[in-house]
A = this chain, B = another copy of it.
Amino acid sequence: MRLIISKDATAGDISSVISLARELTDDPGAVAVETRDGHMVVSVTSNGDPIDPIAFRSLGCIETIDESYLPYRLAIQNATGTERFKIELPSIQATIGGDDFVVMAGPCAVEDETDLLEIARIAVAAGARLLRGGAYKPRTGPYSFQGIGEEGLEMLSRVRNETGLGIITEAMEPATVEKVSGVADIVQIGSRNMQNFPLLKEVGMGTVPVLLKRGMSATLEEWLGAAEYILDGGNPNVILCERGIRTFSRHSRHTLDIGVVPVIHERTHLPIIIDPSHATGAASRVPSMAKAALASGADGLLIEIHPNPERAKSDGFQAITFDQFDKLMDELKKIATALGVGI
């Protein structure tokens, strides 16, 4: 990032810019001051990574912020802080990124059609707009349940027809994107694949909306860089999803970086939703984080529900029961009303 200082800035003003830059980078070598065409130019990097310019915007003495070398430009083209990109899902008459808080609920993995239909009926009755569920599952080791594949896609398709819920499900490799896109209203790219660039390019060539989960250790720059691969391919329908990051903190499975919500709204026009289930890894904490997500300004939720969490083949302990989901949806509706948001 290069900060072009206005010509009438005082030394005190410029001091503030440099102090902040040093504070943000923790590296004296990261802040360089040059002159160009009679302007002072402060350039800031951090071990080669770009720095978020937002903190500098409130400082009056900066004429322009030159971000031309950033790894993304489409991701931030309509970011005005107020105007946001609306992703329309016409077949279910929903909009993500507008005035509604869109809830996507369902099991971690698609397993059994009877269960799936039951879950879908509960979800739609409580106010969810999409059904989540993985037919293909990325798993840490090769001996774990890996999803039921195409059969699962067909189940999702039938449940979609029966309930009117939209479908969000994951594609794990370029070769299956077409099949998944045929069934899904939103194609999910999982955390582990956030930087699977051939996969990003493949979904970028389509028009089906893509939910791009943040990698467990992805910086904001890397996340937006990944989004840019999709946008650059021609698909403008990117939804970001925060699902917890890797930190030293062990009281929860991951650390929900809820602070990224206002940053995403400042930096980009793309919608941001929260996955409280993977973030916490514990059902008892999901409602608290779901409400926080709504209040923070997120555009929706991706949440796991299951009639019998202990029986689920994958990540059961983070799914909430139907009763817990009903109660949560009631609370979310009250908060949404207070905030003037639809649900």
What is A's interface to B at a CB cutoff of 8 Å?
A: 5-16, 18-20, 22, 24-28, 31-40, 42, 46-49, 51-52, 54-55, 58-61, 70-73, 138-144, 172-175, 192-193, 195-198, 215-217, 219-222, 225-226, 228-229, 232, 244-253, 255-263, 266, 279-285, 287-289, 291-297, 309-310, 315, 317, 331, 334-335, 337-339
Contacts and interface: CB of A to CB of B under 8 A. Distances in A.
Contacts of A144: 71
A11, A13, A172, A221 interface centre (most CB from chain B within 10 Å): A11
23 contacts: A7-B12, A9-B10, A25-B250, A33-B33, A33-B42, A46-B250, A47-B252, A48-B281, A58-B309, A58-B317, A142-B232, A192-B196, A196-B196, A215-B217, A219-B248, A219-B251, A244-B259, A247-B255, A256-B257, A262-B284, A266-B285, A292-B295, A294-B295
A249 B219 contact: yes
How many monomers of this chain does the complex have?
A: 4
Contacts of A28: 32, 34, 70
A263 B251 CA distance: 7
A317 B48 contact: yes
Contacts of A72: 141
Given A31-B33, A140-B195, A250-B250, 9 more contacts: A9-B10, A11-B13, A26-B219, A33-B33, A52-B250, A54-B282, A219-B251, A288-B297, A295-B296
Contacts of A54: 282, 284
A173, A266, A334 interface centre (most CB from chain B within 10 Å): A173
Given A70-B28, A248-B247, A251-B219, A228 B37 contact: no
Contact of A40 (B11, B222, B232, B285): B11
Nearest to A226: B140
B250 A259 contact: no
Contacts of A247: 245, 247-248, 255, 257
A174 B173 CA distance: 9
Given A143-B37, A255-B257, A257-B255, A250 B317 contact: no
Contacts of A280: 259, 262
B250 A219 contact: yes
Nearest to A198: B173
Contacts of A192: 195-196
A263 B148 CA distance: 34
Contacts of A61: 11
Contacts of A283: 58
Contacts of A175: 174, 198
A36 B14 CA distance: 12
Contact of A334 (B7, B33, B256, B338): B338
B9 A251 contact: no
Nearest to A173: B198
A288 B266 CA distance: 12
Contacts of A337: 338
